[in-house]
Structure 1
């Protein structure tokens, strides 16, 4: 059990001197229970919009100073946002290269005292002891989509010893249990555990959607693991999200090296990238999602005190338990931001969020049909998704309510004891709370208010004589007042115009580095890894005594041609991470990534740069309009009819063997546990963890086969054709859920020549 305790009310047996305070607190709590704070605060953004319209029309006349300050402030905040975004994308690009080229277990051994080459027997959190509880909420997802996501996870070197996969199914989907059981049967030998939960219909206070499904699954997994949470991290990911292996490797590292007390208040927020089907959707949808990724990245730079995750993220199980898991009500429809905010207030702003620059690869939403109808359907689907995303502006009211309650009634909401952490002081830091308010303003207020003020200013204020409707503005303004435009208003409007022009500068920087970032994470790192593997394969196939001496040797020739390609200027600076240590030796630095998703959309330079020209139109259609739509709707309801976004459909035979890009460099095998070992042959290398069916093994073998035992201390992760390996799959107790563990018996592989 966690050493942290949650509490709601004061101790049940107070001293006599504390009785008046207890009575006062109880009375205040009772009063707060009777006040409808939640519906009051959720309506504030919508009311603000309604009040902003008359302010935009009459403010320049009757409150010119206030109008000018607010108008100019919005533009300056927007400029600061763009500068920060440019900086954050620059950091994300360089950090993504660093993440892809870092051997995280070696870094762990280097950074942890007494770790040595083993798995840190003297450290309180050995690298191999961390378990990842991967929750995949899904509803009416196709078999192929789920298989591909599981294939990708199963290709990771430590999936067999550290991944507990939970398929979070919905009872409302017909046949969901049969689908889950079939997937369990297929992947039972690929993970430490694979199980599923069935979220029941009609739970009191819940809404349909991701938040309620994740909340149910996380509770069930915690219960099934007997609340043994000290070494477990919950990862929430969509059914079509693809994580590379270095995502889990890096969060394992960050979790292990953190002080034990800090692990209990940790979250992990990855960057995002839409690199799967982006070339198959309208440019308006594509550029909207690219800008959405920029928005996520903009708050992940390392020194940021507020880092809000998006869509896919990880939470220490200790923290999830102590904040009582995910909320499942209407205001939690944006479950990613809402869970962060819940943890933020439960820890008095001390929640530790690590930025992870191995991004979550995601699909763009797609419509139905083809041709013009399909195009319009896609735009409509993206608007619906945008409204659902911005329905999360309910969280602005949530922040205001939690702040008020924390000020007037400490202890009214559950909190987490942070004693012993790196932040032992009690209460919020004002600067951190101010940063949170600023981020919420940027997310849910800024663009809507800027649009409204700019729209009405352009129509009613006669300040731009070059405008073709200047005469109309003069006529309208003269009917409202006989006075000229106030000097402050004219100054604010004029300066704001030049601020908008100045925003182009950080935008150019941001676009440049975002293109580099997407090229690296979506293409270059995968191609480099594949080329590394091919070079190593060619080297192993040749006689070591001849391969590096014979000038005309095919392997050497191919290797040198490859090196020439790496140094071509057209490939850009991404290739500089390779270091040549001799005329025929390539030092590989791109670490194992697992297999990549079957869909991939590459961005071509410079043609795709024109996409960014559509930002003003896409931002208005899929940002400003759904934001205003959602917030005005909140005046009447907090409930949204949740619709699952349509994504690309994969087509492959249901029983097709899992396709794996053969990794030449496996994760390092620890003496304390067994991970997937790569079988080396002249033709290919196949991770042992991929042999999920006996018929697949039989097809790969012939008889007789050599059978020579190998030493478990070999950390290279390979064994020769004249060797075989006994690989023990860890067993686990039945959790009480529908579950399947890797077989506890040893599996002896026989290899054919």
Structure 2
């Protein structure tokens, strides 16, 4: 039973959106790519971002997709649901075929269009972080591993398909012998912590530590408190430099390969000249690229820590989110073809 997931790339209109929007999606893409593995292993833990494929037997076994408020993070939620209902026996296979994405774009022009693009990206980030509801869902599912309640959550009519019925019986046996404390489960819970806790913790740590040091003279701060803050500051700096190394030496090469392959395919199909301006290229040595790197912390706080705190506090009152899908750029070529077809009719 397998879940297939490709990495993603924002290579269509990244050069046409506000820099903060581009950097936020750059970090989003890099985070998903960091758990990608070219050689699948049985213990692979990778959370899909936007794009994934499930086999029909898996969909049947887990009773399809959930539609409640807790399933707003649909890609992660379905992965977690399948993973825990199979007691961690879900095979996750990474597909080396990146899914090309568009950044959220505003239909407005000028300075108001710039602000509207930032607002639209924040709304998208809020929807993403609203998926922190999956933390509670994952803990609940993890606590039920190996129980009869877990087994009863799986249902399949073995008379409908003998082959799938046999697989279902096989998984029932494995699930009845479930074990909560496995390295794979710990790995998964760690990734959930990275997605749903770490951005907010980093945001609050930076703010509170800065305020504390600002209102307290250096002589009144405990030596051990000062030492711990200094050590944490060095660790944050080391983490930031490590992230720069990752993006400069790994991601930029990945982006170039994806764009080159897509460009070659477009030229081969004869569509390149029509959408040449919708290809976002990056030059690792350009000052503009390094400016993207410099604002990583700011974009991370605006579109990571802040919307996560917004979502977490909002959950005290409601788990429902009224969300409108953010605008994406339209291809003029497609619109022209539609008009031509309508004219013929």
Q: Structure 2-normalised TM-score?
A: 0.83
**Which residue does 1:603 correspond to in 2?**
282
How much does 1:490 deviate? 2.8
**Which residue does 1:473 correspond to in 2?**
216
State the Cα deviation string for residues 676-716 of structure 1 (Å, max 9, x = none). xxxxxxxxxxxxxxxxxxx9xxxxxxxxxxxxxxxxxxxxx
Distance in 1 of aligned mates of 2:335 and 2:304? 39
Where does 1:33-72 land on structure 2 (aligned, <5 Å)? none
**Which residue does 2:330 correspond to in 1?**
649
How much does 1:626 deviate? 0.4
How much does 1:622 deviate? 0.8
Greater alpha carbon shift after TM alignment, 411-420 vs 509-518: 411-420
Where does 1:516-665 land on structure 2 (aligned, <5 Å)? 516-522=253-259, 524-527=260-263, 598=275, 599-607=278-286, 608-652=289-333, 656=337
Distance in 1 of aligned mates of 2:5 and 2:222? 47
The structure 2 residue matched to 1:508, chosen from 220, 236, 244, is 244
State the Cα deviation string for residues 270-304 of structure 1 (Å, max 9, x = none). 10000001011000000100100011112223456
Q: Which has the larger radius of gyration?
A: 1
Which structure ranks higher in relative contact order (CA pairs < 8 Å, sequence separation ≥ 6)? 2
Distance in 2 of aligned mates of 1:594 and 1:403? 51
- Does 1:406 find its partner at 2:145? yes
Distance in 1 of aligned mates of 2:239 and 2:199? 14
User: Cα–Cα, structure 1 residues 457 and 407, in superposed 2: closer, same or farther, change >3 Å?
Assistant: farther
Is there any run of 5+ residues in structure 1 with no aligned partner, and where? 1-264, 462-468, 479-483, 534-592, 658-694, 696-753
- Does 1:366 find its partner at 2:102? no
How much does 1:312 deviate? 1.3
Distance in 2 of aligned mates of 1:502 and 1:520? 28
User: How many residues get paired?
Assistant: 316
How much does 1:366 deviate? 1.0
**Which residue does 2:197 correspond to in 1?**
445
User: Cα–Cα, structure 1 residues 504 and 456, in superposed 2: closer, same or farther, change >3 Å?
Assistant: closer
Q: Structure 1-normalised TM-score?
A: 0.39
Distance in 2 of aligned mates of 1:285 and 1:617? 11
State the Cα deviation string for residues 57-84 of structure 1 (Å, max 9, x = none). xxxxxxxxxxxxxxxxxxxxxxxxxxxx
Distance in 2 of aligned mates of 1:408 and 1:334? 26
Where does 1:326-337 land on structure 2 (aligned, <5 Å)? 326-337=65-76
How much does 1:595 deviate? 7.0
SS of 2:97's equivalent in the other structure is: strand
SS of 1:503's equivalent in the other structure is: helix
**Which residue does 2:163 correspond to in 1?**
none
Distance in 2 of aligned mates of 1:447 and 1:346? 28
Distance in 2 of aligned mates of 1:291 and 1:606? 18
User: Cα–Cα, structure 1 residues 377 and 413, in superposed 2: closer, same or farther, change >3 Å?
Assistant: farther
How much does 1:449 deviate? 1.3
How much does 1:330 deviate? 0.5
**Structure in which a larger fraction of residues adopt helix:** 2
| Contact 1:347–1:418 (CA under 8 A) maintained in structure 2 | no
**Which residue does 1:20 correspond to in 2?**
none
User: Cα–Cα, structure 1 residues 361 and 653, in superposed 2: closer, same or farther, change >3 Å?
Assistant: closer
SS of 2:325's equivalent in the other structure is: coil
Is there any run of 5+ residues in structure 2 with no aligned partner, and where? 156-166, 339-343
Distance in 2 of aligned mates of 1:399 and 1:438? 12
Distance in 1 of aligned mates of 2:46 and 2:212? 39
Where does 1:211-360 land on structure 2 (aligned, <5 Å)? 265-301=1-37, 302=40, 305-360=44-99
- Does 1:457 find its partner at 2:209? yes
Distance in 1 of aligned mates of 2:2 and 2:65? 15
User: Cα–Cα, structure 1 residues 418 and 492, in superposed 2: closer, same or farther, change >3 Å?
Assistant: farther
State the Cα deviation string for residues 171-221 of structure 1 (Å, max 9, x = none). xxxxxxxxxxxxxxxxxxxxxxxxxxxxxxxxxxxxxxxxxxxxxxxxxxx
| Contact 2:126–2:311 (CA under 8 A) maintained in structure 1 | yes
Distance in 1 of aligned mates of 2:14 and 2:263? 19
| Contact 1:266–1:354 (CA under 8 A) maintained in structure 2 | yes
Distance in 2 of aligned mates of 1:508 and 1:328? 38
SS of 2:3's equivalent in the other structure is: strand
SS of 1:411's equivalent in the other structure is: helix
State the Cα deviation string for residues 31-59 of structure 1 (Å, max 9, x = none). xxxxxxxxxxxxxxxxxxxxxxxxxxxxx
Distance in 1 of aligned mates of 2:109 and 2:242? 38
Distance in 1 of aligned mates of 2:240 and 2:336? 52
How much does 1:409 deviate? 5.3
**Which residue does 1:427 correspond to in 2?**
178
